[in-house]
Amino acid sequence: MPGIRGPSDYSQEPPRHPSLSVNAKEPFNAEPRRKDLVTSYVTPVDFFYKRNHGPIPIVDDVESYHVTLDGLIDCPRKLFMKDVRMLPKYIVTATLQCAGNRRTAMSKVRTVKGVGWDVSAIGNAVWGGAKLADVLELIGIPKLTNITRFGGKHVEFVSIDKCKEENGGPYKASIPLSQATNPDADVLLAYEMNGEVLNRDHGYPLRVIVPGVIGARSVKWLDYISITAEVCQGFFMQKDYKMFPPSVNWDNIDWSTRRPQMDFPVQSAICSLEDVNMIKPGKVMVSGYAASGGGRGIERVDISIDGGKTWVEATRYQKPGIKYIADGFDSDKWAWVLFKAIVDIPHSTEIVAKAVDIAGNVQPKGVETIWNLRGILNTSWHRVQARCIERSKI
């Protein structure tokens, strides 16, 4: 494609914030510190987790850059940035979460395969761009279409990004056509993040945002959009990001027995405290985030200071000055909530957080029951240790 250079090495990586915790250098994967993650409802771009599978593509000439629309349609066409910008612009606040968020904790129960992540492979941003439903109308696919007259049922996104898992080919993923053509699903071709042009790490000049779905389906550096009869056959749809039971290992795994993971389950994490904390006895602020996939709001966040025997409810909030209601008109349904609770810690103990969404889904108590060999979707109760300093030593 004119104006595109795909680096074959990592010598031209963009600058990143020095405080990020780097989990892998090549390809670059990093997350912010817990305390930095929840300083604001909208995650600053510098503190938004970086998830990559290869060197970051370079787009030199955005005017010549285009996305090819093809597949089971009447007339394939090229979509230039000027075409995208001519469509109505929508602003969607949505949380993206890597399916491997909290993988490091899962690996402590039993070893898993994948990049290690603490609790910060998640972020909430304000995305700006055109709705995919409007883009698909340009190639003759009406809104709320489940199947095209040529048998198309899925929309596949193909990236400029090249990765070893695809044997040097492009990263790719797909979503159902019914979701892509539904304006209420808010699927975007985004060119802005937090009111600014996308930067290279986050998909410049154009990426997909699929709200409520694991981050792996929000393809960056978009190259092709193809209408297909079947689910994408790429590596990350067929041989990764699938949820297997604890009994499955690398000797007996059959990837074809599981569907690709889409929505992420209800999740929460404490960010004001690390895994182990030395504290003075007394009042302690417990704060963090909670989110659920599929547009399901957070009905409740519970905090325990005795390992889960008794609970208190935390305060939930999104935008300053607006009361959060899980299914309220003024609430951002695709976005996380932040929570906080002040608790009294008289002695060393375990502090626990768990969230409940509007469908009544609750985080599972332990990692053991949801352990899986790829270490995805660790949504178990989040636990941290508080070790009180003896008053004589304060």
What pLDDT is recorded for position 100?
Answer: 98
Query: Model confidence over 101-146: pLDDT tens digits?
Result: 999 999 999 999 999 999 999 999 999 999 999 999 999 999 999 9
What pLDDT is recorded for position 144?
Answer: 98
What pLDDT is recorded for position 291?
Answer: 98
Q: Can you tell me the distance from the alpha carbon of 391 to that of 283, in angstroms, rounded to the nearest whole number?
A: 14
As a whole-number percent, the residues of the chain with pLDDT over 70 amount to 97
pTM: 0.97
Task: Give the pLDDT band (50/70/90) at residue 320.
Answer: confident
What pLDDT is recorded for position 321?
Answer: 87
Contact indicator for 130, 189 with CB cutoff of 8 Å: yes
What pLDDT is recorded for position 392?
Answer: 54
Contact indicator for 92, 334 with CB cutoff of 8 Å: yes
Task: Give the pLDDT band (50/70/90) at residue 391.
Answer: low
Task: Tell me what the pLDDT averaged over the chain comes to.
Answer: 96
Q: Can you tell me the distance from the alpha carbon of 96 to that of 214, in angstroms, rounded to the nearest whole number?
A: 7
Q: What number is the average pLDDT over the span 221-230?
A: 98
Q: Which CA distances in Å does 99 have to 103, 107, 128?
A: 9, 14, 23
What pLDDT is recorded for position 125?
Answer: 98
Query: Model confidence over 56-78: pLDDT tens digits?
Result: 999 989 999 999 999 999 999 99
Q: Can you tell me the distance from the alpha carbon of 14 to that of 31, in angstroms, rounded to the nearest whole number?
A: 15
Contact indicator for 297, 331 with CB cutoff of 8 Å: yes
Task: Give the pLDDT band (50/70/90) at residue 49.
Answer: very high
Counting Cα atoms < 13 Å in the Cβ hemisphere of 234 gives: 27
What pLDDT is recorded for position 361?
Answer: 98
